[in-house]
Structure 1
């Protein structure tokens, strides 16, 4: 939980600084960005399953 809270605070600070200097937000569009993160997580989990099942 502490790691999640620190991540949110860090993201908020970075977003604030970018807005203060009128820079574009350093993130992809909301839904495609989230889906990319989900895809990376699923690929990581899939590798763990494949390695445990077939590469014993």
Structure 2
């Protein structure tokens, strides 16, 4: 749980800094990016489960 909170805090700070300096956000479109990350995680877990 600590990792999740630290990751969320770090991401929020980085997002704030990018917005403050009016820079484009360094991430893919919201839903596509989230699904890509979930897909990577699920693929990694499937590999670990079977090999």
What residue in structure 2 maps to residue 24 of structure 1?
24
What residue in structure 1 maps to residue 49 of structure 2?
49
Q: Which runs of 4+ in 1 moved over 6 A?
A: none
TM-score, normalising length from structure 2? 0.88
Unaligned runs of 5+ in 2: none
Unaligned runs of 5+ in 1: 52-56
TM-score, normalising length from structure 1? 0.82
Count of aligned pairs: 51
